[in-house]
Every structure is written in C-alpha cells, then in structure tokens.
Amino acid sequence: MTAVAVKYPEIQKLGVEILAMSTDSRFVHKMWQLEELSKMVPGGVPYPMLSDAGGKIGEIYGVYDEAAGVDIRGRFIIDPDGIIRASEMLTPEVGRNVSELIRQVQAYQHVIKTGEVTPSGWTPGKKTLKPGFDLAGMVWKEWKPEMAFQ
C-alpha cells in the first residue's frame, strides 16, 4: 500500500483512482494509518481505505476467505465502464509490484484508445500489434519473445 502511495501522483496522472479495502473496521484503518503507514509515507496513504465488514464485497470479487474472515490480497484494474480488465491475488508473504500495475494500466488505456494489442512486456513507445486476419498465425513475423525484455 505504501509503494502505491509513493506512486499515487503518477497513477492519478493516468486518470486512475485507487481504493484500498479490507475486512478491518475504519477504526483499525485509522490506527494503521497513524501507527504505521504514516511512518513509511508522510501523511500515510492518500487514497481511501474502505471497510468490507463481513466480506460481502470480497466475496463478489472472489477474494474473501470465509474460514479466516478476511479478504486476501487482490488487485483489480477496472475500466471506466466498470469492466474488470485485470486481477491479481497474492498471499501476504509476497508483495505486489506497483510498476507492473502502472504498466498494465498504460497498456489497457492504449488498447482501449487504439484497438491495438500490447504483447508481453509492452511499455509505452514499444511495438504493438494490430489484430486482424492478417495477424492470425503470423504473430511470429511481427513479435519475438526477446522483445518482452527490451
């Protein structure tokens, strides 16, 4: 959460809003902000921390662990039309990658704007693919696996 907080201005420039949610109460969130998050990021996380008491929202998104009574870590990219474009679920011992979040948002925004396809490892300015009958069975001519790492 604090890594996202550091990159929050960059994320907002993309026209994206961040919401954090857990089964913790708003009082627990406030204490967490005061006692830990604000010590890692000045002022704490600048985006809303919402309470999913009872896990109803987590259940809808498939992240609620009923036995433990908690929402497991999940990240969802939801487009302006309310369509979930991407989701990621991780157990607590592995941290998320905010740079990958930003890259994926940029890729989805590019796809929506242009209709092009962004191959593996795509970042702004890199080669895209134009879907169509000409591309079917011919991706190998346009894109090579090593391009994902350049």
DSSP classification of residue 37: I
Q: Is 59 helix (H, G, I), strand (E, B) or coil?
A: helix
Question: 117, 129 in Cβ contact below 8 A?
Answer: yes
Query: What pLDDT is recorded for position 28?
Result: 96
Phi, psi dihedral angles at 51 (to 5 degrees): -100, 130
For strand 49-51 and strand 20-22, is the pairing parallel, antiparallel, or unpaired? parallel
Query: What pLDDT is recorded for position 85?
Result: 96
Residue type, 43: G
Question: Tens digit of pLDDT for each residue in 36-93?
Answer: 999 999 999 999 999 999 999 999 999 999 999 999 999 999 999 999 999 999 988 9
Domains by residue range for the chain, with CATH = 2-94 (3.40.30.10)
* Assigned token pair, 25: 């109460």
Confidence band of 144 (pLDDT split at 50, 70, 90): very high
Query: What pLDDT is recorded for position 92?
Result: 84
Question: Tens digit of pLDDT for each residue in 4-24?
Answer: 999 999 999 999 999 999 999
Average pLDDT, integer, range 111-124: 96
Query: What pLDDT is recorded for position 76?
Result: 97
Query: What pLDDT is recorded for position 91?
Result: 86
DSSP calls for 116-137: -B--TT--TTS--B--STTTTT
For residues 31 and 22, what is the distance between their CA atoms, to the nearest angstrom? Answer: 14
31 pLDDT above the threshold of 90 = yes
